[in-house]
Amino acid sequence: MSLSDRQARILEFIDAYVQEHNYPPTIREIGKAVGISSTSVVKYNLERLQEKKKLERSKEVSRGLRLVKPAPGNGDAGGAGMRLVRVPKLGLISAGQPIAAAGQQDNPYADDTLTLTADLVPDRANLYALRVQGDSMIDALVHDGDWVIIEHRETAERGDMIVAWIEDKEETTLKYYHPEGATVRLQPANPAYQPIYVPAAQLQVQGKVLAIVRQLA
């Protein structure tokens, strides 16, 4: 009376498919996914699954099926209650220009957002994400294309990694913030690089770096 291996896989597939597309798969799609060559066999198994109250079907309706109780299998499982944080993509960051900061007109990402889990990034206001352009921040161990998650701030605390604008150099940089009297030591994340020293008056804190995300594949 329990599910055959095939039937379990069918259920799983339907669940995943619906999650991805927002509409159910066809019989043929199910067949291909589960390794059934004949549509009639899929239909046969769907009927068994109906008998077992695992799903419902509308006759002669394409994609007319729904899971009775969406299997919590893999997808968002225990993470059901996981909180999410939506961080707006505000544009690019490269060495030669101040960042747009909070004002966000004309950014190339419209109102696109990066969604992250709350255990990665705190759910505060004033968060935004910038995409790193070029290799100019390699001393911060940041790669071209990385996303930098920033909390907008005008001040920083010792040891924070900050987005700094150095006025006389006209340069944006990511460094660890170490105030030392009237000057500030900016320490690269990469220990192979030397720190730089900037008069506090020349340094403008634009934000605090909360996280960096690199997507390879």
Partner DNA sequence: ATTATACATGAACGTTTGTTCGTTGTCAAG
Partner DNA sequence: CTTGACAACGAACAAACGTTCATGTATAAT
Residues that bind a copy of itself (CB under 8 A): 16, 19-24, 26, 58, 61-66, 71-72, 74-79, 82-86, 111, 115-117, 119-123, 135, 138, 141-143, 151, 160-161, 189-192, 208-217
Sequence-ordered list of residues with C-beta below 8 angstroms from that of 84, at least 6 positions apart, any chain: 115, 116, 117, 118
The residue written with tokens 């490269």 in the block is 94
Closest CA relative to residue 146, chosen from 104, 83, 209: 209
Q: Which of 91, 116, 110, 2 is nearest to 49 (CA)?
A: 2
Q: Exposure of 106 by Cβ count < 10 A (0-12 exposed, 13-18 middle, 19+ buried)?
A: exposed
43 binding partner (options DNA, a copy of itself, none; Cβ < 5 to 8 Å by kind): DNA
Select from 49, 2, 3 the least CA-distant residue to 27. Answer: 49
Query: For this structure, is 59 an active site residue?
Result: no
Binding of residue 59 to DNA (CB under 7 A): yes
Query: Interface mask (CB under 7 A) for DNA, residues 61-100, using x and -?
Result: xxxx------------------------------------
Report, in Å, the least distance between residue 62 CB and DNA.
3
Residue 37 bears catalytic tag: no
From the list DNA, a copy of itself, none, pick the one residue 112 interacts with, judged by a Cβ distance below 5 to 8 Å according to partner type: none
Q: What is the Cα Rg of the chain in Å?
A: 26
* Residue 44 or 197 with smaller CB distance to DNA: 44
Helix (H, G, I), strand (E, B) or coil at 60: coil
Least separation, in Å, of the C-beta of 91 and DNA? 30
Active site residues: 136, 175
